[in-house]
Amino acid sequence: MSEGLIALLFFHLFLVAFGFFWAFFPPKEPNYIFGFRTRRSSSSVEAWKYANGLFAKIFLAIAAVAFALQLGVFFVLGGSFAETFSAVTATVTMVLVCILGVLIQVLLCRKFDASGNAK
């Protein structure tokens, strides 16, 4: 097993662990250290909780599916195909997380005004 494949397995495992932590221990109020931070999500505690709760749950789902796919390919096919598939999975995961950020921002704009009050 190559070092690159091991690194990618740990990368996905880290994403699952981070998603689990974020989903079950979300930041309670806007801060500068941890959370889905945008001007709209930081505008009120209600907007903050909505954005972080939704982002964390979907992030965890994306990370878990990517990790499961990667493990499945690793154990079924193995070899160089598994390493290539893992790299592709990591790239797709990051693209999906970026799209998720845009989606959460759009949902925030629909649900809250610029001051963070529910519409």
DSSP for 8-63? Answer: HHHHHHHHHHHHHHHHHS--SS--SSSS---TTTTS-HHHHHHHHHHHHHHHHHHH
35-47 pLDDT per residue, tens: 999 999 999 999 9
- Give residue-wise pLDDT tens across range 3-12: 877 888 899 8
Residues 19 and 63: beta-carbon distance below 8 Å: yes
Residue type, position 61, single letter = A
The percentage of residues in the chain with a pLDDT greater than 90, rounded to a whole number, is 64
Contact between 12 and 49 under an 8 Å Cβ cutoff? The reply is no
Mean pLDDT of the 100-108 span: 97
Question: E strand or H helix at 102, and its extent?
Answer: helix 79-111
Q: What is the pLDDT of residues 69-87, one digit of tens each?
A: 888 888 887 767 787 888 8
Residue 117 scores a pLDDT above 90? yes
Res 1: pLDDT: 61
18, 34 Cβ separation under 8 angstroms: no
Sequence ranges of the domains in the chain: 3-111
Classify the phi-psi angles of 26: left when phi > 0, otherwise alpha if psi is within -120 to 50, otherwise beta.
Answer: beta
